Each structure stands twice: as C-alpha cells, then as structure tokens.
Amino acid sequence: MGLKTIRQVSLDYGISRQMLFYYEEIGLLKSSRKDDYAYRVYDEDAVKRLQQIIILRKLQIPMKQIKDILDNQNAMAVIEIFKQNIAALDEQITALSTVKSILARLVDELQENADIRLKLDLLNDKTMLAASSLAFSENRINNAKGNVTMENLNKAHETLSKLKRGDVRIIYVPPMTVSVSRGLTEEQEKIADKFAPELVKIKPDARVFAVFNCSIEDLKDLDTQPDEGWASIPDDMELPAFLTKKTFEGGLYAAYSGNESIEGFRALAEWVNASEEFEIADDGRPLFDECLNAYHLLNGDLKKGTGTLQGDLLLPVNRK
C-alpha cells in the first residue's frame, strides 16, 4: 500500500486533520515524516490502526478504552472492556424502553378518552404518579407486563441526561472587565435598557453572563437563581451608578449548551468528575450561564420576538 499523506488519509476516511492530530496527541495513532517532505505520512500499520479506531468510535467506545483495547495483548482484558460497554448500553436501552412505555400508555389512554382535561389529569403528580406508580386506568395496569414507577422514570431520566464527550467543550474564557448588576429595581432596569444598546455599539462582541458565585455542591435545587449579571465592557467605560466594575482573570471552563441551568450544571459536573483529563476547579471562579446571542439581547431584539435566548453553561475546570 505504501505511505499515505495526511490529506489522503483525511479524504479516504472522512476524518478531519484536527482529529488526526488529536489522535496523535493522546498517543492513539502515530505518523512519520518522509525525508525532505513537510507533511505527516501514515504507513500501512497506522492506517489499519486508524480503521480500527474509527470502527470502535462508531461502537461508542470511549477514547481511553480504545487505547487500552488496541495496546492490550490480553484478550480477556479486552473482553471485559466490551462487557462494560454492553452493560452501559443495556442501561440506556432500559431507560429508553421506560420512556417509550410511558409514552405508549399515554397515547393509548388519550386515544380511548379523547378529552383534553384527561390529558392534563394524566400529567398531574397526584394522578399519574400516585403511590409512586403511573396511575393509568386499572385496566391498563392489570394488563401491563410491568408497572412503571416514578423511581423507574427518575432513573431513566438520570441515565439519558448523562453527558458524553461530544456534548462538552473545553474552552478558555479570556480575562475581561465586566459590569456587575445585582437585583435591579424597575427604575434601574429602565436605565439598563438604555445602557445596553450603547454598550453594543461600542463593543459589539460584548459577552453576557448570569453568574453563580458558589461551588457546584452549593447548587441546592432548581430554584437557585444567579447572584449577579455580568456584561464585558471596555476598561475605561463609564457605568450607571447602580452598576459596579470588576476584572475577571479568565480561565479554563467546561462548556455545555443546555437550557436547564441547575440540572445542566449537575450533569456537567458529573462529566468532569468522570474525566481523566480535567477536574472541577476550586479557585473561586464562578459558574456561568452565558448568553450566546448577547448582541441581539443587548440590542433588545429578543424582546421584540426576533429570536430566542441561547446559552452555554460554563463550569470552571483545571487540567489534572
């Protein structure tokens, strides 16, 4: 077969150069250099290994386990890794089956009793989840192979809410000067509405954050509210009296695009705790819920109904 250039490998296997670089960086793949040739090349063994990596990734095997599999000569050890992944898949299948079962029963009930009031009753805790059991009609319960409890539903939700590697990005939030607001009064909000469009004219790349000045353990419940609102500003910008100026030192963050702040932070923390590369930082940096379309927010466009709020949850991390 001979040597293949990085461009040839990228085209042949539909994989980006950046991903090939990443595989090399983590020791999963090796390239070589031809004399007087500026680019990486891959020999037959490297290409075969890449084919194996691609197949294992399509089988949802994590990167760390792929390296263990390919570098391990012990068949029993590889079998054990595969069994672990089968168990994880079984857990997801069970969770999806639970959700499917509940939805199917709801459809059956509603088709037999086509009444909007019934639908609302079914989704009420006192009826649907009475006695920790989904309270469908007695006939449905008696004919069901297994009664789905609220505990089953909670477990399914927890399983399906777990984040995977592709759900999380590791980003660097740069140092910045920010305006800080806390619990604005109605009069202050009116001034802020005038201030925001002026800010975006001066700084169209302004970033806006809802700020939680606490550790992940201190997020008690889903009613937890942000402590502050931040907007990045020019260093010398004059602020209204009710806003204060602060310097943020920047740092590494795990980012997840989610719309359920507290639950999302918990899932993000679980992902970081399971990571072999990163750990949650305990250096006083806040947790952020960043608005990704800050330009439109500051301009008032979102209030005019021209878009919806989009956000990233940001959890401070350090490399291990």
Domain boundary among 160, 175, 208: 160
Looking at the structure, tell me whether residues 308 and 183 fall in a common domain: yes
pLDDT of 153 reads 66
Q: Domain of 47: which CATH number?
A: 1.10.1660.10
* Final residue in a domain of this structure, among 119, 142, 160: 160
Which DSSP string do the residues of 250-308 spell out, in sequence order?
-EEEEEE--S-HHHHHHHHHHHHHH-SSEEE--SSPPEEEEETTHHHHHHTTTTTTS--
The pTM assigned to this predicted structure is 0.59
| Shared-domain flag, residues 300 and 198 | yes
Phi-psi region of 131 (alpha: psi -120 to 50; beta: other; left: phi over 0): left
Statement to judge: residues 292 and 277 lie in one domain: yes
Q: Are residues 202 and 259 in the same domain?
A: yes
Counting the structural domains of the chain, the total is 3
Residues 257, 156 share a domain: no
User: Does residue 237 sit in the same domain as residue 206?
Assistant: yes
Question: Which range marks the domain in which residue 297 is found?
Answer: 165-319
For the chain, list residues with pLDDT below 70: 1, 35-38, 109-110, 112-166, 220-223, 258-261, 303-307
- Residue 134 sits in the same domain as residue 178: no
Q: Round to whole Å and give the CA distance between 95 and 160.
A: 7
- Tell me, yes or no, whether 65 and 86 share the same domain: no
Predicted local confidence at residue 276, as pLDDT = 78
Q: What is the pLDDT of residue 234?
A: 95
Same domain, 27 and 138: no
Q: Answer yes or no: do 96 and 138 share one domain.
A: yes
Q: Based on the fold, state whether residues 254 and 300 are members of the same structural domain.
A: yes
Last residue of a domain, one of 71, 93, 120: 71
pLDDT at res. 107: 75
| Residue 55 to residue 57: CA distance in whole angstroms | 5
DSSP state of 167: G
Tens-place pLDDT, residues 94-114: 888 877 887 777 777 667 665
Query: In this predicted structure, what is the pLDDT of residue 134?
Result: 43
Dihedral-angle region of residue 27 (phi above 0 means left; psi in -120 to 50 means alpha; beta otherwise): left
Residues 185 and 309 in one domain: yes
